Structure 1
Amino acid sequence: MILKLILLSLVTYATAVIKTELGFKWTQFDNVIMSTSVLYEVSNLRGRIWCVARCLQDHACISVFYRRQYRRCQFHDVLFMSPKDGEQETGTRYYSVTTNACPSHYVHNRLLNICYQLHLNKINRNEGLADCTTRGEHLVVIDSEDKQVHLLKQISSSSENLEHNYFIDGSDAATEGQWILHDGRPMTYFAWRPGFPANVSTAHDYIIESKLIQRTSIYVWQDRASKDTKYYICQKDL
């Protein structure tokens, strides 16, 4: 089942992402513009290649729209996933940028040096971790407020991501109440929901990003059992 999901994901991205001179062009966003998570705009650049080059120079920039009609580049600090969230604008083209070994269809925050992918298939934690491991990855590590804020902004940037809970790295399975990361490091940053970790059962040994209130973009952590089915986020170390 997991292999089937991986292959389906690869086929989907292969048809949607094209490598260009400097970045990756997302063809499903042709003639679409997004108005959220805008870092800034620059007018009168000579073309889309200069837009992508400008994005590469700014480590806060993850993606860019080239608006041909206005000769304008619109820079963003997230990677958009849902063209249906945007508005129609003829002539726009959308590009993402990565460096090092971060794949084209992953989110690459160069300021935080983090490369990850949201997986929108609902499975238990062990299956999600196994899927990450097949690519030499692990569940995403959130070890600072900056990473927590960025991840929540990324989740909130696309409607198809927003209504779900996600397994992330962290466990107290070895010793109850002592939370560690996949590599054995003790956790020092937490973003628990009020009343959590609940510790209602020794089976609640793993962490999810959980939506706090419906119809908002506020996410906080809960402890859950590995058998629970959630979405998950894989991180590739660079």
Structure 2
Amino acid sequence: MKKCTWFSLFLVVKLAFGAGGIFEANLQLDNHRFDTDVIRRMEEVDLTDCAVHCSERGDCMSVQYSLTTKACRLFSTVFLSTIGGDPDIGWRYYQKTGGSCPSRHTFTGIDGLCFLNGGEGTRPEGVNFCTKMGSSLILVKSSNIENFLEKILDRTSKSYTHAKSAYIQGTWNFSHWIDDEGEVLQYTKWHSGMTFIPSKSHSIKIKQYNSGYYWQEATSGDLYVRNFFCGYFLL
């Protein structure tokens, strides 16, 4: 069984900028340049200015800084691996965390969502990890959050089924699909071919299909290793 890898993803290299949060460097992404979801480019700036500009923007989740050219890029997303990046010596990636969000979570600006990548694990491992981090397994309550997660999954590795997938919040209570608070899910994106046994308890996974990403029930699949993400909503 493959355990959660979150702690190996982020190494402790931090720059603090007051209420704007903490910028944590993911050194595993060093020397790769990302060209998607860029919301601002700057030249000839220092790292502090780069981070401050991101800190001042609610739609900025992360930055990339070139140690060789002093170029800066602000992103409206987060990157978890080098998938989608191009090799380019000197670039270092920083993710904005904290601020009004729980520790290590990133404010997305999407429906008040604070986001944290948990790595890979079984569903129980994901639930336990997110609880310890002060949040819960991510609740996909809108198409905006769904689209955000799909873009994140596009940049992850395939799971054991040779498809990209992740556990999300939601269980079957023998009559309705509900969230952790017992409220009926208002947003869903079920795969058209999905079937499940009403007499059994179920949970939910997002899975990649040829036609895109859709939801599917997970029963014994709770013990398979998939991506999982934590979420916390600011009021």
Equivalent of residue 17 in structure 1, options 12, 17, 20: 12
Provide, for residues 69-119 of structure 1, a one-character-per-residue CA deviation record: whole Å limited to 9, x for no partner. 444222222221223653332322221112224333x44313432223333
Aligned partner letter, 2:168: I
The secondary structure found in structure 2 opposite 1:20 is strand
Task: Output the CA distance in 2 between the equivalents of 1:44 and 1:127.
Answer: 43
Partner of 2:29: 29
Aligned residues: 224
Q: CA deviation at 1:45?
A: 4.6
Gapped regions of structure 2 (runs ≥ 5): 18-22
Task: Output the CA distance in 2 between the equivalents of 1:48 and 1:142.
Answer: 34
Q: CA deviation at 1:130?
A: 3.2
Equivalent of residue 224 in structure 1, options 218, 221, 224: 218
Residues 175-214 of structure 1: matches in 2 within 5 Å? 175-176=174-175, 178-196=176-194, 198-203=195-200, 205-213=202-210
Q: Tell me, yes or no, if the aligned pair for 2:83 and 2:156 is still in contact at 8 Å.
A: no
Residues 39-50 of structure 1: matches in 2 within 5 Å? 39-50=38-49
Q: Tell me, yes or no, if the aligned pair for 2:65 and 2:72 is still in contact at 8 Å.
A: yes
Residues 28-177 of structure 1: matches in 2 within 5 Å? 28-35=28-35, 37-83=36-82, 86-98=85-97, 99-104=99-104, 106-123=105-122, 125-159=123-157, 163-173=163-173, 175-176=174-175
Task: Output the CA distance in 1 between the equivalents of 2:229 and 2:119.
Answer: 9
Q: CA deviation at 1:25?
A: 2.2
Identity percentage over the alignment? 22
Q: Tell me, yes or no, if the aligned pair for 2:12 and 2:24 is still in contact at 8 Å.
A: yes
CA 1:194–1:150 in 2, change beyond 3 Å: closer, same or farther? same
Aligned partner letter, 1:224: A
Partner of 2:20: none
Task: Output the CA distance in 2 between the equivalents of 1:117 and 1:66.
Answer: 22
Provide, for residues 10-31 of structure 1, a one-character-per-residue CA deviation record: whole Å limited to 9, x for no partner. 3x256x2311133222223333
The secondary structure found in structure 2 opposite 1:97 is strand
Q: Tell me, yes or no, if the aligned pair for 2:154 and 2:164 is still in contact at 8 Å.
A: no
Task: Output the CA distance in 2 between the equivalents of 1:148 and 1:236.
Answer: 15
The secondary structure found in structure 2 opposite 1:100 is coil
Gapped regions of structure 1 (runs ≥ 5): none
Q: Tell me, yes or no, if the aligned pair for 2:157 and 2:164 is still in contact at 8 Å.
A: no
The secondary structure found in structure 1 opposite 2:168 is strand
Q: TM-score, normalised by structure 2?
A: 0.79
Task: Output the CA distance in 1 between the equivalents of 2:72 and 2:153.
Answer: 23
Aligned partner letter, 2:136: H
Bigger proportion of residues as helix = 1
The secondary structure found in structure 1 opposite 2:184 is coil
RMSD of aligned Cα (Å): 2.9
The secondary structure found in structure 1 opposite 2:141 is coil
Aligned partner letter, 2:27: T
The secondary structure found in structure 1 opposite 2:16 is coil
Q: CA deviation at 1:199?
A: 2.6
The secondary structure found in structure 1 opposite 2:196 is coil
